[in-house]
């Protein structure tokens, strides 16, 4: 997004007083244009956006060539986005905007236990994933090493959350989600419900690292800035229950070399779990016969109260 033209721009502090007055007059005019916005929250958001956007333009002394390049980039992001690929979410993710929004909207909530931390949603969630019974299999034929995941769902006071809905989705061992294939397969995703004691379990695949889609404008941006498109190994969860805050999170594989360089900044230490290798022939929890090795992991989920939402500043 850089330009070879007009690269040597004066710093804001070196701009002549007359030019500074012109720029600040424009900011004041644009801010005032939102003064009659009926919705006070929309007014606050728009005026803050304008203030920060103009501050950025003036800070870097953005050239017209760079502005045009940015418009071309955002247009390309829009063109590649469809009902199966969300390049704007991808852009938000790699800029850390998704993760920061999650941090702002999911404050730590304590009771007898700290609520499970949230992380990025990602671009590959699909509504209406098939239901499986507790102890069922989400793989749907996707290639990969079997993994048994189990845990409980409780509130921050330690009470079990019966019938919590648990959505899970993940990539296969080749690093692809089902929606990245052209055959309309449904694999590596499902939903299930915790039992009356808040317990849940299912078979999935041992998570493996993979690159985010990098054949589009976001990938070209990462390449231009010397950044890797790789994500640390993870398994997605979305957990909902009446009266409790919806949790969107992942669990990550302890020992993964990418934990400190996850390209969407989604790793939190509390979400790094042990995926314990089980030799071939090791009895499974449900008596499943596995000729090869498998892994097992535990993830106990703690949901915050629905009222634990942050108040908007101002």
- pLDDT digits 0-9 by tens, 179-235: 989 999 999 999 999 999 999 999 999 999 999 989 999 999 999 999 999 999 999
Residue 229: CB partners within 8 Å, gap ≥ 6?
211, 212, 214, 219, 222, 263
Q: What is the pLDDT of residues 51-83, one digit of tens each?
A: 999 999 999 999 999 999 999 999 999 999 988
Read off the tokens for 19. 């030019």
Residue 8's pLDDT band (boundaries 50, 70, 90)? low
Residue 163 contacts residue 312 (beta carbons within 8 Å): no
- Mean pLDDT over 281-304 rounds to 92
For residue 25, pLDDT over 80 is answered with: yes
Distance CA 213, CA 135 (A): 31
**Helix H or strand E encompassing 72:** helix 64-80
Residue 239: CB partners within 8 Å, gap ≥ 6?
153, 164, 165, 166, 167, 246, 247, 249, 301, 303
Rg (CA), the chain: 23
Distance CA 86, CA 84 (A): 7
For residue 12, pLDDT over 80 is answered with: no
Distance CA 275, CA 123 (A): 25
pLDDT, mean over the chain: 92
Distance CA 104, CA 102 (A): 5
Residue 308's pLDDT band (boundaries 50, 70, 90)? low
For residue 7, pLDDT over 60 is answered with: no
Distance CA 32, CA 213 (A): 41
- Mean pLDDT over 254-260 rounds to 97
For residue 4, pLDDT over 70 is answered with: no
Read off the tokens for 53. 């956007």
Place of tokens 């090795």: 293
Residue 222 contacts residue 231 (beta carbons within 8 Å): no
Q: What is the pTM of this model?
A: 0.86
Paired strand residues for 250: 236
Distance CA 259, CA 313 (A): 33
Read off the tokens for 70. 């940015």
Distance CA 20, CA 68 (A): 23
Report the range of poorest mean pLDDT among 76-85, 147-156, 293-302.
76-85
- Cα atoms in the 13 Å half-sphere on the side-chain side of 10: 8
Read off the tokens for 301. 């989920």
For CA atoms 248, 253, 256, 259, give the dihedral sign. Answer: positive
For residue 113, pLDDT over 60 is answered with: yes
Query: What is the share, in percent, of the chain residues with pLDDT greater than 70?
Result: 93
Q: What is the pLDDT of residues 36-56, one digit of tens each?
A: 999 999 999 999 999 999 999
Q: What is the pLDDT of residues 262-286, one digit of tens each?
A: 999 999 999 999 999 999 889 998 8
Place of tokens 């710093």: 11
């Amino acid at each position: 997004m850089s330009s070879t033209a007009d690269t040597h721009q004066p710093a804001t502090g070196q701009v002549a007083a007359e030019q500074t007055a012109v720029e600040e007059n424009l900011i004041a005019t644009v801010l005032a244009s939102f003064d009659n916005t009926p919705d006070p929250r929309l007014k606050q958001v728009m005026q803050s956006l304008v203030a920060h956007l103009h501050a950025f333009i003036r800070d870097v002394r953005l050239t017209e060539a760079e502005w045009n390049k940015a418009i071309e980039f955002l247009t390309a992001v829009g063109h590649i986005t469809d009902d199966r690929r969300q390049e704007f979410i991808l852009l938000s993710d790699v800029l850390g905007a998704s993760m920061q929004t999650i941090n702002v909207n999911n404050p730590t909530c304590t009771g007898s236990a700290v609520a499970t931390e949230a992380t990025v949603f990602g671009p590959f969630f699909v509504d209406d994933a098939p239901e499986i019974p507790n102890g069922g299999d989400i793989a749907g034929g996707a290639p990969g090493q079997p993994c048994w995941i189990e845990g409980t769902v409780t509130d921050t006071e330690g009470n079990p959350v019966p019938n919590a809905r648990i959505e899970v989705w993940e990539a296969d061992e080749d690093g692809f989600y089902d929606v990245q294939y052209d055959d309309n397969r449904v694999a590596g995703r499902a939903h299930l419900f915790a039992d009356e004691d808040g317990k849940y379990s299912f078979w999935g695949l041992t998570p493996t690292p993979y690159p985010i889609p990098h054949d589009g404008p976001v990938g070209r941006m990462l390449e231009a800035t010397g950044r890797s498109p790789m994500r640390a190994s993870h398994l997605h969860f979305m957990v909902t229950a009446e009266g409790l805050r919806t949790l969107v999170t992942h669990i990550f594989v302890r020992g993964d070399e990418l934990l400190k360089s996850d390209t969407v900044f989604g790793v939190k230490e509390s979400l790094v779990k042990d995926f314990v290798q089980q030799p071939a022939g090791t009895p499974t929890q449900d008596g499943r016969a596995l000729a090869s090795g498998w892994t097992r992991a535990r993830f106990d989920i703690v949901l915050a109260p629905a009222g634990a939402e942050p108040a908007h500043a101002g």
